[in-house]
């Protein structure tokens, strides 16, 4: 069985942030840990993605012709 202490140990979010999430969302601490961790993980995934640069059709045609 996973305990509250286990969740705290696995969580990479600082306790102050977890407390803010718990107060703001009116959640028990264990759910606030999961919610905060999920938000941080999602933000990291979104920041890790490479931006897609728009390439014009003319630029592609010039590259293919060369």
Per-residue pLDDT of 12-60, as tens digits, reads 899 999 999 999 999 999 999 999 999 888 877 776 665 555 656 666 6
Tell me how crowded residue 58 is: count the other CB atoms within 10 A of its CB. Answer: 8
What range defines the domain where residue 18 resides? 4-65
C-alpha distances out from residue 31 to 3, 19, 27, 36, 65, Å: 12, 11, 6, 9, 57
pTM for the predicted model, two decimal places: 0.64
Looking at the 3D structure of the chain, how many domains does it have?
A: 1
């Amino acid at each position: 069985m996973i305990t509250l202490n286990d969740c705290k140990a696995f969580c990479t979010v600082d306790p102050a942030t977890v407390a803010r999430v718990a107060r703001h969302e009116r959640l028990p601490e264990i759910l606030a840990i999961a919610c905060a961790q999920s938000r941080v993980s999602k933000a990291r995934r979104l920041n890790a993605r490479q931006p897609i640069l728009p390439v014009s059709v003319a630029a592609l045609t010039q590259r293919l012709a060369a």
